[in-house]
Structure 1
Amino acid sequence: MSGVDWRSEQDYANFGAAETADVAWEWLRRDGEYQQEFRNLTAAERSTGMTHQFRNKWGLSFRS
């Protein structure tokens, strides 16, 4: 995770231009449970796009 300080106006100067997906990702990547489950994925699972169950649980799969 980056060293951005969420309380710093300067670090988030471009926030007004953020799209919904940008805000959702910032929220998700700070979630402790998500971080732990991501760390628990094997290297093979990460290289093949993660598991179907993981993607569905965290809303990382989109219908086409």
Structure 2
Amino acid sequence: MSLDTSRWRSQSTYDYVDALTAPDIGWEWLRRNADYQNSYAAFSRTEPPTTALTEGAARKWGLRFPGRSGV
């Protein structure tokens, strides 16, 4: 995942942050985290995701997967 850093100094680029909730801000941080990106890549290569992967993601990243029992 490559981020567009060309407008990082533009205040208008980040105006949406003013309306974010705590979970939204957490997601904004998490999705930019290289370690999370690697975990997500491993997760998305497994179809369907195994229980070990979903439980591992829940523990490591605090994620929840609606509709999956036990997680």
TM-score, structure 2 length as denominator?
A: 0.64
Alignment of 1:1-64 (within 5 A): 3=4, 5-41=7-43, 42-45=46-49, 51-61=54-64
CA distance in 1, matches of 2:56, 2:26: 19
Residue 30 to residue 55, structure 1, CA distance change in 2 (3 Å):
same
TM-score, structure 1 length as denominator?
A: 0.70
Unaligned ranges ≥5, structure 1: none
* Higher share of residues assigned helix: 2
Unaligned ranges ≥5, structure 2: 65-71
Instruction: Tell me: higher relative CO, structure 1 or 2? Use CA pairs within 8 A at least 6 residues apart.
Output: 1
1:26 Cα deviation after fit? 0.3
Name the % identity.
Answer: 37
CA distance in 1, matches of 2:61, 2:20: 20
Structure (1 or 2) with the larger CA radius of gyration = 2
1:3 Cα deviation after fit? 4.2
Total equivalences in the alignment = 59
